[in-house]
Amino acid sequence: QKEVEQDPGPLSVPEGAIVSLNCTYSNSAFQYFMWYRQYSRKGPELLMYTYSSGNKEDGRFTAQVDKSSKYISLFIRDSQPSDSATYLCAMKSNAGNMLTFGGGTRLMVKP
Amino acid sequence: GAVVSQHPSWVICKSGTSVKIECRSLDFQATTMFWYRQFPKQSLMLMATSNEGSKATYEQGVEKDKFLINHASLTLSTLTVTSAHPEDSSFYICSARVSNEQFFGPGTRLTVL
């Protein structure tokens, strides 16, 4: 079993839909949680960074962390075709030096 | 967020030659940088962790003599692919950490003929 599981998709939604992207993890030591967006042939772009359980909102994006369930989510409201990309969750423990990534979910927002 | 640049963005080389990729943190100092490679439709694979002024730490299965990493300053790390072969063709991405956030460069696409 991988440390971080993420549905690879592809996830296809119509423009304007609310998108829900999720990751589950097994290592209870993870404390820092990140969501990255990666366009084809580009480096990942940090979208959201959260520490501890709860919600964090930034524009159309909301990151949610539930440590008790070892489950994190990224919600995208009013999705746009420009949101079409691969979304990677990543997490890190306090002591650890490196990120552990999910496999990425490919999102397609159709106009 | 912090900006990380990479150069070149795209390189084609002949088999047997060496290629150097530069990674710079533009508006911050990075004591730790990371090098990843990514194959099409796959997630990022960590190759090595680079600490300024010390030897890089390589992940299992990554040949340190083939992938030379130098982190000579707080804003620059380089990856040199030595004696490149077609199987080294990949997308190489560097990353720099600021506190507990990690920022990525735009990537370098290497094609070895």
pLDDT tens-place string over residues B12-23: 999 999 999 999
Q: What is the DSSP letter of B3?
A: -
The whole-angstrom separation of Cα B34 and Cα B22 is 12
Distance (Å, rounded) from C-alpha B13 to C-alpha A16? 44
Confidence of residue B1 (pLDDT cuts 50, 70, 90): low
Torsion angle of alpha carbons A111, A9, B62, B103, nearest 10°? 50
**pLDDT (tens digit, 9 = 90+) per residue, A63-97?**
999 999 999 999 999 999 999 999 999 999 988 77
Residue A42 burial by CB count (10 A; 0-12/13-18/19+): exposed, middle or buried?
A: middle
Residue of A nearest to B59 (CA): A98
Q: What's the gap in Å between the CA of A79 and the closest CA on chain B? A: 22
How wide is the angle at C-alpha B36 spanned by C-alphas B34 and B41, nearest 5°? 150
Task: Compare all CA atoms of chain A with the CA of B109 and give the residue at the minimum distance.
Answer: A41
Which of residues 45 through 84 in chain B touch A, CB cutoff 8 A?
Answer: 46, 49
d(CA A87, CA A105): 5
Facing residue for A101 by CB, picked from B44, B49, B105: B44
